[in-house]
Structure 1
């Protein structure tokens, strides 16, 4: 694999957090893999994983996976009114083994009168959904409503018979089953009698039901079913079995087992963060409102001095999203259902399956210039279109880190795992397991060191990187057992246990440098607090450590402030102690000592103290199309004169992953002599005509400042200063004007406004939208926008459902300025 200086089309190298290649991969998506279905991993040719139906319930009487051989999931979607008739196909699989449920014997005709028949089971879907906080799922509403509940809680059911239920002569058994071959010892089968005393209590890991009332006039009873807090999540089949007293042919007493009453729809069971016995339990109800129930969000991007939020529609309660989320983890676990009871294993599987590098997951990653055949990553404004497209067609093109993370947030919240999207600015990417950020230089012809681009262990520092935090107890660990945030990362960077997956890892372990904790703690520690190490490589193959930069990594770690759409919550202190403090240095050294592949020469000797202090000052409010001023401040902190023999400021085009391309500005200065305590400012100005034609993707640039200082006392080694900073130009926001309230069935009119900041027209303009509560539209072409023009366009949108957290998100694309978006919050009532 190769790439040009800017990066072109490049991948993340794999290095050995598992079985990946150590120094790279031939796959342009991050790994040269072949999954169990024969996929080449490029998203273009694969054997569909949906030759296996990873949904195990009886919903809509659809056939199970061994009875079908159909591509993808669109032929058996959850909703009947959206499903097309499927042509008959030959069965290609043998029938499944029978489940471990006792067979029901045939009842002789003369004894049918003694059998108790179940006529109906009322699941009280509205009441149960509200009690379990699942009433916002679209599938719990309307005439085809289905029951979604959370484990560790009780479910009310009313069972109606053909005659009054007699406690002395009748008994009932309830059965929940999951999968093609349910077994009690695998946690996939529960067959139990109803406690008629109404007093029995059922523990953490026990299914059960209490009889709470009976109405002989209506021939019905009401029961409360207890779901264990550690049961497997998923779509469970359910039936009721009656047992009645009767007599055999010789007149002896005999049990008559009635015909099972099977529910047409299955019952979906999710994690329960409101239950103290569930590992995902979170005690703060206001935080649960944000991290489980809120469908709106923002993700921070940019650089640490020019950070800004991009609005995102999580939409975890919308049509098809829960189906997609459950299918995604089943696809990863295959026939192993027991792990789906453990949020640690489920969250790790989500990190693995949201990217398409293994097992035909959701998103194909692409970092480079060519996005043909798919959507550019910054055009997405929500998870709905991505997950629905995956359900229909398979892996979706294309994603980058914030897209992977936002889709993972949707899946986690849909399944009941508290989750938030987190951005780390100046985020390191360690490729060799040293728990440091190593960059290699070589002597250059111009006097300054030049980056050794071909050194196999060059690490990088991204402008920003986005991952997720999930809230859960880590009962699988000894040191960190309390509830807390755990990092998972769905972006395919480095392989872990042979797959592109990362986490969950306790944030507290990262902060303390305890890198032996599962999972991937060393890699994440380096992202937020690794020391940046510069090495010089000489022609004879020897290497020399040049400098250690201790404060360049992990800045302004950000997530959305709960309840505030565009307000930032800084969580840097949760990941690292104060920069330069004793505790922070202890954590860094502990991480170094427990690295997988530590370099023993990294901290071998004490560094020299530089007598001239430099600071690179960048403005964070420069709009694209304007002049960007750059200042380098040098202060002589020595007690005598010092001379800067020469220096330069270089500006290059850049990707947000740290890869740089063409130099677009170079300003040289020196020699300059500074008296003791004197300060000098060196300036450069970047004009639009220098950069507009060279900006790529997110309008990032890289600024490098270098200087050489004359030696003291006849020493023959010059002191050298080097600093690299990332910045980006601000893009205009879409201003959205619309109503604050609406009712289902109304047509709400939204006006989209954009001011062109450039002295040239915006061309190739397109707009799209995604929402909670509206009838969305796909990409639409719009007219070019003239220089400095204020463009307006009205969009009438029909409301289709009520929602507490309603919003509409617009995305605008053009050739000159990528990634322009805006949103409007609206409350839709029934």
Structure 2
């Protein structure tokens, strides 16, 4: 592109009456239907049509040239309109007229952008240049996107079903909870909602890169690696005029609680309305889902991925540490954390900057955890580099590798010293899920991230067997360094004899059945005495609420029992936590950490076992009369109901129904009391104003609970009349 000349008002006779961008036909051809009713939206490397209508004197090709000019900021490119497309250069803008494209006062021109054009909104100019007369016209604006349908484009995706799912689909599923009993939550990406395209483009326009050097930014926007890095930083608001402010604990009254979001469009609309002030509040699945929306709008195939038991390795040693009290309570002593689930996006692209072998899915994580290049962003990182442990691959591979494959060191602390420790090599990244193509069933991506790991590194012996010297050497994943009891700032862990070998005890903890709000939580502890002597033991059980990002909360249930176990005996212990013990602490989708510490009262040796799980909420039924496919701008009826399956009467029952794009505001049903097996119901009239996938959501709460105890979602498909 060359510098744009200043263009004054049209000179000569005002001959150009109308420029028709043929939006409907071009949008069908370019797979951009629904992205905008205001602008022409096309994909690079594929021709689109523009029709010029004249009044008065028609264009005479024998007397003057027809020249088109595309303008982007201070840059522009001119195209001499030719007859026939004679193999134009794919790296330059080109324009041509086919036979039959010239009619009475009408000319249809075909325009093709280079395959590596910048993603942006362009201005189109029309020039007539003759020997004695020149005239210029502003034709209008159009938006140019990446083209995953074009083989030469770096984001090319060869499979139709994949493009349908990862580019065109406006509906996704987020998997949350724990690997033991995960749940799924729908999300509306909302790329076809009015104003979403404009918001996505505005994110680019207010980025620090654009504000500091517009010309350089425009030039680099041809590269999906660059685009994903800019958008990743702009989705969070930590360094810029970004989209979302994160909050992981405390009060959300000055914004929206992260669990209350169900789609990206509302967030993007609020950000635009606030003129660049961040929307409150987001957590990992919100950051990832909004990022996925923006990337799909820009034409980059994207999907949302959940990693269960994701490590946040704060010191870069590929090890995450957890500390427990001598009675099994998780302590907040470590800078590392293990999130029960963490959500990021994957974006599909080639990586010419690092080599063809790194093409394919790339991790892009907008949740602000650590800085990359001085900015809160992460990626794009090739998934194949994570699997092959090429930890120096750009960008942020070592950090992401630790998220899915770090070792967990669990330590029992008493009087400020570590008294026992165990290393778990399989806990982190136990499951990695994304939505399957055309289905809500999860697709397991674990093998694409992780090779088969070595067996569990044996656990350490109790405190007292090793020299109390603190080492600070860093260690890689296959070269562990020394660790010393009593040093909380440990950098790595040596393999040692297993705890079972040293103590002669093997302990397992399991959660029985499917824990559900309002019902007892059933636990089983199995102790095996591998020694030839009778053991006198103390069993400590502890249950505490846990934030999904690993932060421990106060314990709500404890059990302490002295036991005796015979030589080579298996002892099975059953425990039950009644609803009365947890209902004032726990609610819908909360995560619980259960830990057991078995202590030998004679030798003082201890063994730890732990398990995380989430409580299932009672179901809210949502039904649309006549089926889940409804016509746009036509009223339909939805019936929402909740049946009290608990064994007690609920006071002050509230059923709330919402539906962005289907309902105006919230609608409620209330009952003073809801007895066991009774139902509360709400009928609502729904009407969609636009096409696509919509969500009806419902929540149930009651006066005796401090928060929502159940939340449900229901997909509605809106079709043309």
TM-score (norm 1): 0.76
Distance change (3 Å), C-alpha of 1:198 and 1:526: closer
Deviation of 1:482 after TM superposition, in Å, equals: 4.5
- In the TM superposition, what is the alpha-carbon distance from 1:337 to its structure 2 partner? 2.3
Deviates more, 1:760-769 or 1:224-233: 760-769
CA distance in 2, matches of 1:217, 1:195: 16
**Contact 2:63 2:130 (C-alpha < 8 Å) held by counterparts:** yes
Q: Secondary structure at the match of 2:281?
A: strand
Structure 1 residues 617, 542: CA separation in 2 closer, same or farther (over 3 Å shift)? closer
Change (3 A) 1:581 1:350: farther
Kindly indicate whether the alpha-carbon contact (under 8 Å) linking 2:359 and 2:382 is maintained by their aligned counterparts in 1.
Answer: no
Tell me if 1:652 matches 2:544: yes
Partner of 2:49: 156
CA contact (8 A) 1:649 1:684 kept: no
Query: Please, which of 296, 314, 317 is the counterpart of residue 431 of structure 1?
Result: 314
Q: Which residue of 2 aligns with 1:575?
A: 449
Note if 1:101 corresponds to 2:9.
Answer: no
- In structure 1, the partner of 2:398 is 522
Tell me, yes or no, if the aligned pair for 1:624 and 1:757 is still in contact at 8 Å.
no
1:174 is aligned to 68
Q: Which of the residues 35, 54, 79 maps onto 1:192? A: 79
CA spacing shift, 1:237–1:211, aligned 2, 3 Å: same
| Contact 2:420 2:605 (C-alpha < 8 Å) held by counterparts | no
1:701 matched to 2:592? The reply is yes
1:419 aligned onto 2:302: yes
Measured against aligned partners, the alpha-carbon deviations of 1:491-523 in whole angstroms (never above 9, x if no partner) come to 222222222211111111112222211112122
Superposed, 1:308-707 pairs within 5 Å as 308-332=183-207, 333-335=209-211, 336-393=217-274, 394-440=277-323, 453=332, 455=333, 457-478=334-355, 481-534=357-410, 546-565=421-440, 567-580=441-454, 591=477, 602-608=492-498, 610-611=500-501, 612-619=505-512, 621-636=514-529, 638=530, 640-641=532-533, 643=535, 645-676=537-568, 678-695=569-586, 698-707=589-598
Change beyond 3 A, Cα 1:244–1:496: same
- Label 1:734 to 1:605 Cα distance change in 2 as closer, same or farther (>3 A): closer
Deviation at 1:119, TM superposition (A): 2.7
Tell me the SS of whatever aligns to 2:372. coil
**Displacement, 1:663?**
1.8
Q: Does 1:751 align with 2:628?
A: no
Alignment-derived partner of residue 790 in structure 1: 679
1:237 to 100, 116, 123: 123
Moved more, 747-756 or 779-788: 779-788
- In the alignment, the residues of structure 2 paired with residue 170 and residue 813 of structure 1 have an alpha-carbon distance, to the nearest angstrom, of 71
Q: 1:212 aligns with which of 88, 94, 98?
A: 98
| Paired residues of 1:536 and 1:543 also in contact (CA < 8 A) | yes
Structure 1 contact 381–809 (Cα < 8 Å) conserved = no
Question: Quick one: distance in 2 between partners of 1:419 and 1:327?
Answer: 20
Contact 1:623 1:757 (8 Å CA) reproduced: no
SS at the partner of 1:563? coil
- Note the alpha carbon deviations across 1:453-500, whole angstroms, 9 max, x for none: 4x4x4322122111111111111113x644311111122222222222
What displacement does 1:538 show?
A: 8.8
2:125 is paired with a residue whose SS is strand
Distance across 2 between alignment mates of 1:810 and 1:107:
54
CA distances 1:691-730 after superposition (whole Å, capped 9, x unpaired): 000126732211011113478xxxxx65421122211210
**Alpha-carbon spacing, 1:600–1:721, altered in 2? closer, same or farther (3 Å):** closer
Q: 2:470 — aligned with what?
A: none
Q: Secondary structure at the match of 1:826?
A: strand
SS at match of 1:129: helix
Q: What does 1:122-133 correspond to in 2, within 5 Å?
A: 122-133=20-31
Instruction: String of CA shifts for 1:664-691, please: whole Å, max 9, x gaps.
Output: 2222234332433x32212210100000
* CA separation of 1:100 and 1:324: change in aligned 2, threshold 3 A: same
Matched, 1:809 2:696: yes
Distance 2:8 2:345 in 1: 52
Give the deviation of 1:555 after TM superposition. Answer: 1.8
Count of paired positions: 678
* Contact 1:642–1:709 (CA under 8 A) maintained in structure 2: no
Deviation at 1:196, TM superposition (A): 2.5
Q: Provide the C-alpha distance between the structure 1 equivalents of 2:651 and 2:29, rounded to a whole number of angstroms.
A: 51
Q: Distance in 1 between matches of 2:297 and 2:527?
A: 52
SS of alignment partner, residue 469 of structure 1: strand
Counterpart secondary structure, 1:367: coil
Report the structure, 1 or 2, having the larger strand content.
2
Higher relative contact order by CA 8 Å / sep ≥ 6: 1 or 2?
A: 1
Structure 1: distance between partners of 2:587 and 2:369: 21
Residue 226 (str. 1) matches residue 112 (str. 2): yes
Deviating more after overlay: 738-747 vs 322-331 = 738-747
Is the contact made by 2:512 and 2:524 (CA closer than 8 Å) also made in structure 1?
Answer: no
Counterpart CA distance in 1 for 2:417 and 2:508 is 31
Give the gaps of 5 or more residues in structure 1: 1-98, 184-188, 247-255, 583-587, 712-716
Structure 2 gaps, min length 5: 212-216, 457-473, 482-488
1:777 matched residue in structure 2: 664
Structure 1's 721 and 387: CA in aligned 2 closer, same or farther, altered over 3 A?
Answer: same
In 1, Cα distance between equivalents of 2:45 and 2:163: 17
Match of 1:553, SS state, is coil
C-alpha change, 1:684 and 1:798, in structure 2 (3 Å) is same
TM-score, normalised by the number of residues in structure 2:
0.87
